[in-house]
Amino acid sequence: MSKKEPPSTDLPKKVERTDFNDKKKLYLSQRSNNPIVAREVPKPEDLERRQNLLRWTRWGLPATALILLVSIAAWPEIDRAINSNKEILKQLSKIKVESGTMHGASFHGLDSHNRPYTITSKQVHQNADGLIRLTYPKADILFQNNSWMMVTSDQGNFLQHSQNLSLSKNVVLYRDDGLFMYSPIADISMKSSVITANDWVHAEGTFGVLDAQAYFLDMHAGIAQFKGPGRLILNDDKKSSASSTTRNDSIQGQNKQPSFVNPSTSSESSP
């Protein structure tokens, strides 16, 4: 039998890392290429300049923040002032000084019952005698019972001191209860809320249809007067249709607002 060899008592060789040496060499090479420069001692003037900068920062930053807060609080008023000035300049830009013409003008006033009215016009030209010529005027009138009326036309003249408005060409009167009146001319006293016209008129509304040769409306007194010969066709709630033809010289109605009723004078009617 062969003898067994005794186990080897030699220890394994120790493994050494060489990467540390490489890093050390790299570090030394970098140090050699970039030598360390000694830090210079700050000069007195440098220290004073830095102290001044810190002192300014200590007081300047809070002051700047305070100014920003005040500007944020006051910005709405500043913006309102800027916009108002822009609006004034916009209105002034519409005025042509050479010709006395203004575009998009509006006039505001109060009548004898302290109810407001407004007159607007696409173009306004004022003469030397104070007469204001209007192009496509529109008058809005508010009454005591909060009802309102609007009158439009193609041309018009306005005397501001007497508050008289004269309209011509395609005069249309509209009242908030559904009344339409068409006539070639109309004279309106904005002070007393009285409308008159000595020319034909055609009216349509919930009452029916009316044609006359002249009319008179007192909006505050609630009086409507139409001069004939005229024609009145009334709507009847009970019947599908009803008509009334009048040959008298005037048709009158009185209510809180001008209304149109079947005249008490002689008339002919058909069912």
**pLDDT given for residue 258 in this prediction:** 40
CATH code for position 106 = 2.60.450.10
**Domain for residue 72, yes or no?**
no
> pTM higher than 0.75 for the full model?
no
- Rounded mean pLDDT for each run of 10 residues along the chain, 271 residues in total: 56 61 70 65 82 85 88 83 70 55 83 89 82 91 85 91 90 91 92 90 90 89 85 70 40 40 33 28
Q: Compute the distance between CA of residue 269 and CA of residue 68 in angstroms, rounded to an integer.
A: 82
**Domain for residue 56, yes or no?**
no
Q: Compute the distance between CA of residue 220 and CA of residue 216 in angstroms, rounded to an integer.
A: 12
Query: Which structural domain range is residue 149 located in?
Result: 101-265
Q: Compute the distance between CA of residue 149 and CA of residue 193 in angstroms, rounded to an integer.
A: 10
Three-class SS state of 173: strand
Residue holding tokens 């048709």?
Answer: 251
**Domain for residue 89, yes or no?**
no
Helix (H) or strand (E) holding 75: helix 44-93
Please tell me the total count of domains within the chain. Answer: 1
User: What are the backbone dihedrals phi and psi of residue 264, each rounded to the nearest 5 degrees, phi first?
Assistant: -80, -10
**Domain for residue 164, yes or no?**
yes
**Domain for residue 237, yes or no?**
yes
Question: Taking the CB of residue 150, how many other CB atoms lie within 10 A of it?
Answer: 14
Asked if residues 229 and 213 have their Cβ atoms less than 8 Å apart, the reply is yes
**Domain for residue 2, yes or no?**
no
